[in-house]
Every structure is written in C-alpha cells, then in structure tokens.
Amino acid sequence: MPSVLARVVTFTIDGIDPLPVWVEVDIRPGLPAFRIVGLADAAVRESRERVHAAILNSGFDFPARRITANLAPAHVRKVGPGFDAALAVGVLAASGQCPIEALERWAVFGELSLTGTLRGCPGVLAVAQGARRTGVAGLVVARERAPEAALVEGLEVAAVDDLRGLAAVLDGGDVPPPPPAAPSAGVARHEQPDLADVRGHEMPLRALEIAAAGGHNLLLEGPPGSGKTMLARRLPGLLPPLSRDEALEVTRIHSVAGAAHRGGLASARPFRAPHHTISPAGLVGGGRPPAPGEATLAHHGVLFLDELSEFSRPTLEALRQPVEDGEIVIVRGQQALRLPTRFMLVAATNPCPCGFAGSDRPCRCGELELMRHRRRLSGPLLDRIDLLVTVTRPSAAALAAAPCTSSEAVRERVLAARERQRARLAGTAARTNAQLDARLLRAHVRIGADARRALAQAYDRGGLSARGHDRVLRMARTVADLADRDAVGLEDVLHALALRAREGGDEAVAA
C-alpha cells in the first residue's frame, strides 16, 4: 500500500505573534511507530501519547503502521500543547477517517485530553489572527476559547468539545457557533476605584491629571500611608477608553500570557503592579521560550512600581529600553523578538528608608542610608520620569472634608486634552506630549515670548539639564492643552517647573 500524506495548518506562538505551522502526517507500511520530527519542544513530543489515547478513546482507529509527523517549517521552534488537535486530525485524514480536502478549509488548534476532550490553549486570539492571515476559511478550537477567536472578523469559528466534534466539522457537518462571550473581562470601568475616595492631596491630584492628559511618567514620593498607592491605582480610570485595535492587542497579549479575558474583549486599560522582588526577565520579558513580561502585560495601560527603591538595579536598568522605545527587543541566537511596551510608568517611593524625611515626623535615617537611598533612585530611569510629585500626609481637616473631584470629571478634561494632542500631532509618530522628542518639540510646540524667557532663565541658572529643558516644555504643553491654549504661556512653564521641584531634583526652581 502506498503512503498517504495529510497536511494540517496550525500555529505556534512566538512572543505574542502567531506563526503558521504545517503538520504533515505520512503513514506507510512498516512496524507500528509514531514519530514527531521538526524542532518540537518537550510538550509537543508528549503529544504522541495524548493523540494516541484520544484517537482510540474517541472511537477511531489508530493505524498500526509507521506514522511520521513532520512539523514545518523546520527552523521554527514549536512550543506548547496546542499541536495535539492538528496531529490527531492529520492521523485521521492520512488513514482515511476524515476527508483530506477539508484540511484546506480549516485550521485547528488545541490540546487533547486522553479521553479526546479538546482544551483551549493560551493565545487563541493570536492564532485566530494568524489563521485569518494564512487565508484558511475557518478555525476549529475548543468551545471555551471560541469567543476569543470570534473577535477576529472574516474568520469562521467552529466551537467543538472534543475530537469527535472536530472530525464532524471536517466531515462537512454543522458548524457549532462560538458561545456568546462572558461579560467583558478585566475590571469594568464602573468597578474601578474613583478619585472621589481621595481626600485633600490637591497637588498630587493635579499631577495625576497632567500625567494622564499627556501620557507622562510619574513618581510619587511620600511617607508611608500618605496615599501613594491609592493615587496610582486611580490612574487607569482617568485614561481614555481603549480603542478597538488597542483592546484587541491587550486581549491578545493577556491571552498569550494565559490570563484569558473570559472570552471577551479587554475593556479596561491594564494596571500591572509587580512586586519589587521581580527579576529583570519577569519585568521586561525573556526566558526560554521567551515570554512577555510585566512591561508588555502593561502595554496600553499602567505599569506601577511600588517601593521603587527596593527594585534591584539590574531590574530597573532593564526597564530603560522599553520605557524609551515603547518596545523591548529580546535577542536569541539569530532572531530578535519584539514585544510592545507602551505603558505609562508610575513609581512610588518613600523619601528615605524610614519613610519620614521631610514630613512632620522625625526621620531616623543615618547619612549613609540617606545617600544610598538617593543613589538608588537617581540615574537613568528617573531621567525618563517627567513628573516628580511629593505626597504629604493629608491633614485631619482634609480627611474629614468632601472629595475634591471625581474620576469622571478629570477624565473629561483628559479626553479633551488628548484630542488636542491628536489633532496637533497628526502625521507624526507621537500621539501624546510625553512622546515628543527634541525635534518634534521644536516643530510642534509654539511658545510665547515671556514663557520662552522664563524657561531660558531656569536653564541659565543651572537648575536644568538639556534633557530637563525639553521635559519642562513637554509638561508645559500638556498644562496648556488642559487649559485649551494653543501656545505655551508663562504660567504653563512655571507650572511645569513646579512639577519637577523635588528636593535634590535637578529642576528645582531656584528662589
């Protein structure tokens, strides 16, 4: 008997991107054997046992001949258990138990249990996007992950429970539609914490609004219990809602990382608050195979580093490139993997190890401790943070008073300011003032004569570095956008200078 070859399309995930993989199954006479070749990792090699059992337990025959499954292209590393479905279908088609022509129409993806149940795997949305690009008409996936695949337009999705259901679809049976997505995942907007919970804190609230409006990174410094974490958690609720494209990207990233959005589209901007013991690879991505880190999980949202001075130096160093470039490039061998990292960075820290320097309680730290603390905080990362804000303990009167504002009111002003930026920066690579480099600043920021003079004076006094000069201009542009002004005025520059006026900071306004 001649050999029969079946070819099934499935996908592997590289970082957060889908790569098509063709599973070619060849069955020929010979001693019974089942081999998988083509740069497969351990999970894929284990597939053999699952596929064998699943086929038999679903009532099909497992051919007692020589079976070779090749995963092509050979140079792509295949990772994870998502190949089970394709391998099983390949064996069924090559042994005449399912029509080979159907394999041109359908891509398949999922893990099989020994009983033949089809399980969803991380990254279904990415796989569906890949299937759409590859040009197959449809994708068969596990029912529980089918709503995620259905987010991709122009792709038919079959939601099946097991290998029998999968074979029935390929046989030309009815296509079981995906169940409706569960109410959208993440924290819905109305569940997000509100600024109305914050008492007092006029300056920090204003800073939070400016940061949200211009997309600026922010450092909150203050004694324990003064409300730094509380403020940071309220930032995502001030940002504009995710566009559909952004929501798809966020959902795809979180799906690959195994945090499924209960089948729905992400509705809230991510807020990631990794613990300070996190490793560099955990923060920016890496490992084997490379997986997205917290910086990528925070893409389009907020990355919050609480207790900034406790993070290790290498961890903070690793964050420089993603903060600067909006992406992280992980190089392995000949290939470079790019992961998006466009987040707003919010950091919080105590002013000193005991936490009370500069507050109304005495600081118990020694000179040396203070110096070490400062050194930890200074440096390249701090240079990429626009706003430095001191958070003081709210007074008893403030705690008892009515709230200053609500998230909704601030969000409205933020949206208007973002709209102004969008219009002004149309046709450039930047979308927010925070993304303005020196060239864009010169080209797109008009500044009044007296404002320019004030900025020049601050610079000449030596309080500003060249980078600090641009930073003040960026922030002043945002202050002006919030006030609906076309040109940056004197008050905007003074306001921006004050937002960096931190003890020891390089931009303190000299008296």
Ligand X SMILES: Nc1ncnc2c1ncn2[C@@H]1O[C@H](COP(=O)(O)OP(=O)(O)OP(=O)(O)O)[C@@H](O)[C@H]1O
- The answer to whether 226 contacts ligand X (rule: CB under 6 A) is yes
Residue 227 CB, nearest approach to ligand X (Å) = 3
Helix and strand element counts for the chain (H, E): 19, 16
From the list Mg ion, ligand X, none, partner contacted by residue 201 (C-beta under 5 to 8 A by kind): ligand X
For 280, the token pair is 């560099």
Q: For residue 370, how many other CB atoms are within 10 A of its CB? A: 16
Candidates 143, 216, 228, 373; binder of ligand X (CB under 6 A) is 228
Residue nearest to ligand X (CB): 227
- Contact status: 201 vs ligand X (CB under 6 A): yes
Q: Does 373 bind ligand X (CB under 6 A)?
A: no
Calpha distance 137→484 (Å, rounded): 49
Rounded CA-CA distance 339/104 in Å is 31
Could you tell me the smallest distance in angstroms from the CB atom of residue 315 to Mg ion?
18
Contacts for 101 with CB less than 8 Å, ≥ 6 apart: none
Report the residue from 236, 263, 394, 489 that binds ligand X according to the rule CB under 6 A: 394
Kindly state the smallest distance separating residue 407's Cβ from ligand X, in Å: 14
In the list 32, 96, 172, 224, the residue contacting ligand X (rule: CB under 6 A) is 224
φ, ψ at 176 (rounded to 5°): -70, 120
Matching residue, tokens 């430095």: 388
Write 416-424 long-range contacts (CB < 8 A, 24+): 416/482, 416/484, 417/213, 417/214, 417/478, 417/481, 417/482, 418/213, 418/240, 420/481, 420/484, 421/214, 421/481
Question: Min. distance of Cβ 112 from Mg ion in angstroms?
Answer: 46
Binding mask 156-195 for ligand X (x = CB under 6 A): ----------------------------------------
State in angstroms the smallest separation of the CB of 391 from ligand X: 6
Q: Binds 321, which of Mg ion, ligand X, none (CB < 5 to 8 A, cut-off by type)?
A: none
**Cβ(403)–Cβ(199) below 8 Å:** yes
Which residue, 229 or 406, has its beta carbon nearer to Mg ion? 229
Distance CA 400, CA 387 (A): 28
Q: Which of 230, 389, 451, 455 binds ligand X (CB under 6 A)?
A: 230
How far from 469 is each of 43, 113, 206, 317, 474, CA to CA, in Å?
53, 61, 21, 23, 9
Please report, for residues 75, 85, 113, 459, 477, the alpha-carbon distance to residue 110 in angstroms, rounded to integers and kept in the order given.
Answer: 22, 5, 10, 60, 50
From residue 322 to residue 361, the character string flagging contacts with ligand X as x (rule: CB under 6 A) and all else as - is --------------------------x-x-----------
Pick between residue 351 and residue 468 the one whose CB is nearest to ligand X.
Answer: 351
Q: Would you tell me how many other CB atoms lie within 10 Å of the CB of residue 119?
A: 18
- Closest contact distance (angstroms) between CB of 350 and Mg ion is 9
Contact partner, 199, from Mg ion, ligand X, none, Cβ < 5-8 Å per class: ligand X
- Could you say whether residue 234 binds ligand X (CB under 6 A)? no
CB distance 138 to 156 below 8 Å: yes
Of the pair 83, 356, the CB lying nearest Mg ion is at: 356
Binding-site ranges for ligand X (CB under 6 A): 198-201, 222, 224-230, 348, 350, 394
